[in-house]
């Protein structure tokens, strides 16, 4: 049985008619940049997250940069990011000329380890980027407590966590700003690149909107230099259609993750145990295995596509070799990078497909 890692085709087929009609409509109206579809999506997504402002932009990486710009973070400022994330999180910090400071993650939750985080705070620290990795909310109470104590901003990297809840509160409403990605494979995915910044702060929202559109206040009047990072009309219209299904898709993801969990031993496979009042939205279902290379090879021989998120902890990437970090600086992230394995998980996955994955995972691990 061939099991892909994600099945974007199955999802497209389930809403094909509606999507195709929408695309045709946008083309016939030539609503390519800005316009009603973008506005509509921004309003709908703000409503979905429960925030006052949503600013669409070109992708999730830009969203992070624009959010930090709105806080006037830049040269000589330090921003703390988790050592286990996708490079976009740290890349955005460097892109706005600030200094990336990595902090280790918790071995069981995969998100920022609060003790390690506090050790990294210096007088130069300006912000913490809390990544809700794999769809699991970071420990926001503790992060917000530290931020308040040290007068730091908190930016949520919610690129993998659309619709997640932390102690009953929506992810995306807890930091000063939150950033989303709508990369096709994300829980809410466009058919190209797209992203958004959300916030309840009107001044930050106004800055982000202006900065993302050339610092423009009217067509050829510019308050400042900005960037060109706009959500386009086609992607916005597609996202508007898909947003209606996001809740149902998320519930299917959770059901499927729970299916894996019922059948796979928690101690053996080291997946995250989710507290009662937290909603993990399972962008990824990540287990830990000691003999990963062998397991991956064997799964591949059965046409089961698994992934690794991420095979090299950020501080140990060649991109950051100038920081001279060693594995022992980030023991948990270093431990995890050799062991994590992401199993296929998406709303359309069936029980028999999961049984097949489980059968061969258990056989080889």
Ligand X SMILES: *Cc1c(COP(=O)(O)O)cnc(C)c1O
For ligand X, the binding residues (CB under 6 A) are: 59-61, 85-86, 88-89, 131, 157, 159-160, 181, 183, 193, 195
Cβ-count burial 216-234 (b if 16+ within 10 Å, e if not): beeeeeeeeebbebbbbbb
In angstroms, give the least distance from the CB of 215 to ligand X: 21
In angstroms, give the least distance from the CB of 308 to ligand X: 14
Of the pair 59, 213, the CB lying nearest ligand X is at: 59
Q: Residue 283 and residue 218: Cα distance in Å, rounded?
A: 39
CB 255 within 8 A of CB 324: no
Instruction: Please tell me whether residue 242 adopts helix, strand or coil conformation.
Output: helix
Of the pair 11, 160, the CB lying nearest ligand X is at: 160
Of the pair 183, 360, the CB lying nearest ligand X is at: 183
In angstroms, give the least distance from the CB of 160 to ligand X: 5
Of the pair 116, 162, the CB lying nearest ligand X is at: 162
Strands (E) across the chain are located at: 53-57, 78-82, 99-103, 125-131, 153-157, 165-166, 169-170, 177-181, 195-199, 216-218, 221-222, 278-279, 285-288, 340-343
Give the C-alpha distances (Å, rounded to integers) separating 117 from 199, 350, 361: 24, 39, 34
In angstroms, give the least distance from the CB of 63 to ligand X: 7
Of the pair 86, 249, the CB lying nearest ligand X is at: 86
Of the pair 284, 361, the CB lying nearest ligand X is at: 284
In angstroms, give the least distance from the CB of 245 to ligand X: 20
Query: 170 has which bridge partners?
Result: 165
In angstroms, give the least distance from the CB of 360 to ligand X: 27
Nearest-CB residue for ligand X:
60
Q: What are phi and psi of 263, to 5 degrees?
A: -100, -20
């Amino acid at each position: 049985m061939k099991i892909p890692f994600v099945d974007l085709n199955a999802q497209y087929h389930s809403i094909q008619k509606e999507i195709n009609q929408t695309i045709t409509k946008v083309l016939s109206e030539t609503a390519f940049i800005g316009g009603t579809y973008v506005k509509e999506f921004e309003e709908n997504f703000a409503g979905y997250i429960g925030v006052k402002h949503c600013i669409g932009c070109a992708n999730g990486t830009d969203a992070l940069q624009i959010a930090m710009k709105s806080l006037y973070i830049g040269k000589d400022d330090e921003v703390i990011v988790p050592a286990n994330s996708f490079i976009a999180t740290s890349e955005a910090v460097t892109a706005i000329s600030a200094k990336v400071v990595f902090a280790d993650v918790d071995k069981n939750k995969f998100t920022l380890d609060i003790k390690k985080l506090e050790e990294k705070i210096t007088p130069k620290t300006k912000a913490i980027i809390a990544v809700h990795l794999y769809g699991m909310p970071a420990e926001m109470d503790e992060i917000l407590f530290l931020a308040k104590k040290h007068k730091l901003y908190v930016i949520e990297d919610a690129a993998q966590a659309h619709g997640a809840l932390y102690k009953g509160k929506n992810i995306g409403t807890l930091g000063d700003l939150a950033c989303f990605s709508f990369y096709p494979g994300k829980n809410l995915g466009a058919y190209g690149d797209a992203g958004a910044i959300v916030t309840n702060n009107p001044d930050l929202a106004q800055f982000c909107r202006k900065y993302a559109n050339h610092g423009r206040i009217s067509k050829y009047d510019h308050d400042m230099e900005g960037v060109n990072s706009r959500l386009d009309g086609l992607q916005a219209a597609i996202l508007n259609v898909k947003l209606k299904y996001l809740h149902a898709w998320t519930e299917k993801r959770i059901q499927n993750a729970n299916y894996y969990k019922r059948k796979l031993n928690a101690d053996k496979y080291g997946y995250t145990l989710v507290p009662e009042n937290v909603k993990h939205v399972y962008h990824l279902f990540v287990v830990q295995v000691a003999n990963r290379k062998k397991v991956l090879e064997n799964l591949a021989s059965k046409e089961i596509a698994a992934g690794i998120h991420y095979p090299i902890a950020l501080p140990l990437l060649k991109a950051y070799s100038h920081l001279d970090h060693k594995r022992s600086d980030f023991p948990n992230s270093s431990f995890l990078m050799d062991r994590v394995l992401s199993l296929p998980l998406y709303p359309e996955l069936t029980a028999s497909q999961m049984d097949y994955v489980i059968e061969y995972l258990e056989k080889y691990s």
